[in-house]
Amino acid sequence: MLRIDRITLREIRLRLREPFRISSGVVDERRILLLELRDASGVTEWSECVAGELPNYSPETVDTAWLAIREWLAPRILGKGIGVPPEGVHDILDRHVSGHYMAKAALEMGCWGIAARLRQTSLAKLLGGERERVATGISIGIQRDPDELAQRAVAAHAEGYRKIKVKIQPGADVEFVRAVRQALPKGTDVSADANSAYVFADAPHLALLDEFGLTMIEQPLHRDDLVRHAALQRQLKTPICLDESITDMQRTEDMVALGSGRIVNIKPGRVGGLGMSRRIHDFCAKNGIPVWCGGMLESGVGRAYNVALASLPNFLLPGDLSPSARYWERDIVEPAWTMDAAGMVTVPRDALGIGVQVDRARVDELTVRREDLRAPGQA
Ligand code: OSB
Ligand code: MG
């Protein structure tokens, strides 16, 4: 059993080394919501809420997540006995609270981190992860022109990344992808992510991407549009991968039933946590759908949860699990996340909990707001 008696919410600001542009917006300084959970035994662990600054990728933001956690979600687990492993947390948080997946996930994942520490094991082992190292790809934001993008893709490939994903949008797609494909060695794993920038009428245009042999095109259409994704998939040779659309089990089942895509990007923050990530993973494995772990420009805390998850067996494609130095001058964890020359990240299987230590002094320095939530009657 675990029993969370205090949750400290903090917002920190962390500047990206360079702005990251996707079809729906750009971010240069991350507002990161961190949670520090304390078990009644005194054990503590950190988790991260992946909500963004603006409701462009998802309806949630840092501010809505803070509100949801404080008002509706944290009170459901504070002071309550929770089984280990904490598979039941998802349903406790989900009952009669719709949406707010990222807020739920931050709490749910924190419970997994605490549970691992209580069991004196690593998060990766507690989850049932098997890999000792996981393959990583890079997600490159939209650039000024095709040459600039191609240069970045070449540099990333030289660093060892095993998948090059480029963000696309109308006006920055076919010629950009062509430049990347031409600049990289034949056979390099290249994919494109549209973050819902297209509509179904763009199908003939998107079919122009087929000639580049992409591993996938990620989320071309609106998050709610599984029906048109299925129609689009029938017109494309390139496999569609769904990201924003996959928020729970039903959506994953519907994707498979309708044929809305052939690959799934799992982000634990987007689906309400690690328990649901694992259920989606298992369902996809049974249905022959490869999955990979997406990223949300997390700090080293959020990355730890992603890396542990990506060590499960059906994570068959490289994840967006770039090392700390890709994002930050300096991460908030020790050790910082690194990638070897073969594009592999080591899973901290033999460490306790999430496997990295938070640099508390630095987090204190970066904190712009803080709130302690406690179980009723708790000091
Ligand atoms: O669609 O995968 C996405 C970042 C923010 C919002 C959405 C996405 C992304 C990324 C970044 O692609 C992946 C990473 O963390 O490196
Ligand atoms: Mg995506």
Q: What is the pLDDT of residues 290-346, one digit of tens each?
A: 999 999 999 999 999 999 999 999 999 999 999 999 999 999 999 999 999 999 999
What integer is the mean pLDDT of 150-173?
98
Task: Tell me the one-letter amino acid at 272.
Answer: G
Q: What is the pLDDT of residues 222-276, one digit of tens each?
A: 999 999 999 999 999 999 999 999 999 999 999 999 999 999 999 999 999 999 9
Residue 47 beta carbon below 6 angstroms from any ligand 1 atom = no
| Residues with C-beta atoms within 5 A of ion ligand 2 | 193, 218, 243
Residues contacting residue 125 through CB under 8 Å, at least 6 positions apart: 116, 349
Sorting pLDDT into bands at 50, 70 and 90, what band is 375?
Answer: confident
Residue 193 beta carbon below 6 angstroms from any ligand 1 atom = yes
167 in active site = yes
Say if residues 268 and 277 touch (Cβ distance below 8 Å): yes
267 in active site = yes
- Report the candidate in 3, 14, 72 with the shortest Cα–Cα distance to residue 42: 3
Instruction: Give the ligand at the shortest distance from the Cα of 56.
Output: 1
Residue 320 beta carbon below 6 angstroms from any ligand 1 atom = yes
Residue 295 beta carbon below 6 angstroms from any ligand 1 atom = yes
What integer is the mean pLDDT of 19-47?
97
Say if residues 220 and 240 touch (Cβ distance below 8 Å): yes
CATH number belonging to the domain at 2-120+358-369, selected among 3.40.50.300, 3.50.50.60, 3.30.465.10, 3.30.390.10: 3.30.390.10
Sorting pLDDT into bands at 50, 70 and 90, what band is 66?
Answer: very high
- SS3 (DSSP) at 211: helix
Check whether 30 has a pLDDT greater than 80.
yes
Domain boundaries, the chain: 2-120+358-369, 125-346
Q: In sequence order, what are the beta bridge partners of 369?
A: 11
For residues 236 and 177, what is the distance between their CA atoms, to the nearest angstrom? 16
Mutational test site, ligand 1, from 296, 298, 301, max ligand atoms within 8 Å of CB: 296
If you measure from the C-alpha of residue 165 to the centroid of ligand 1, how many angstroms do you get, rounded to a whole number? 10
Domain 125-346 class in CATH = alpha beta
Q: What is the pLDDT of residues 74-94, one digit of tens each?
A: 999 999 999 999 999 999 999
Residue 322 beta carbon below 6 angstroms from any ligand 1 atom = yes
Residue 48 beta carbon below 6 angstroms from any ligand 1 atom = no
Q: In sequence order, what are the beta bridge partners of 26?
A: 21
Q: What is the pLDDT of residues 194-211, one digit of tens each?
A: 999 999 999 999 999 999
Rounded to the nearest 5 percent, the helix, strand and coil shares of the chain are 35, 25, 40
Percent of all residues in the chain with a pLDDT value above 70, rounded to a whole number: 100
What integer is the mean pLDDT of 335-362?
98
For residues 46 and 106, what is the distance between their CA atoms, to the nearest angstrom? 9
Sorting pLDDT into bands at 50, 70 and 90, what band is 376?
Answer: confident
- Report the candidate in 90, 114, 83 with the shortest Cα–Cα distance to residue 104: 90
| DSSP H helices in the chain | 62-68, 74-77, 89-94, 101-118, 123-127, 146-159, 174-183, 203-207, 226-235, 249-258, 274-286, 300-309, 324-327, 360-366
DSSP symbol at 212 = G
DSSP symbol at 210 = G
Rounded to the nearest integer, the mean pLDDT of the chain is 97
According to DSSP, the β-strands at 190-193 and 164-167 are parallel
For residues 22 and 73, what is the distance between their CA atoms, to the nearest angstrom? 30
pLDDT for the residue 248? 97
Percent of all residues in the chain with a pLDDT value above 90, rounded to a whole number: 99
pLDDT for the residue 379? 64
Quick check: pTM over 0.85? yes
Name the closest-CA residue to atom 9, ligand 1.
296
pLDDT for the residue 203? 98
For residues 147 and 153, what is the distance between their CA atoms, to the nearest angstrom? 10
Catalytic residue among 125, 163, 165, 167: 167
pLDDT for the residue 377? 76
Atom of ligand 1 nearest to the CA of 244: 1
According to DSSP, the β-strands at 25-39 and 263-266 are unpaired
Mutational test site, ligand 1, from 31, 166, 297, 299, max ligand atoms within 8 Å of CB: 297
If you measure from the C-alpha of residue 2 to the centroid of ligand 2, how many angstroms do you get, rounded to a whole number? 34
Residue 139 beta carbon below 6 angstroms from any ligand 1 atom = yes
What integer is the mean pLDDT of 150-165?
98
Q: What angle do CA 185, 186, 187 make, to 5 degrees?
A: 110
For residues 335 and 86, what is the distance between their CA atoms, to the nearest angstrom? 26
If you measure from the C-alpha of residue 1 to the centroid of ligand 2, how many angstroms do you get, rounded to a whole number? 36
For residues 329 and 201, what is the distance between their CA atoms, to the nearest angstrom? 42
For residues 67 and 9, what is the distance between their CA atoms, to the nearest angstrom? 11
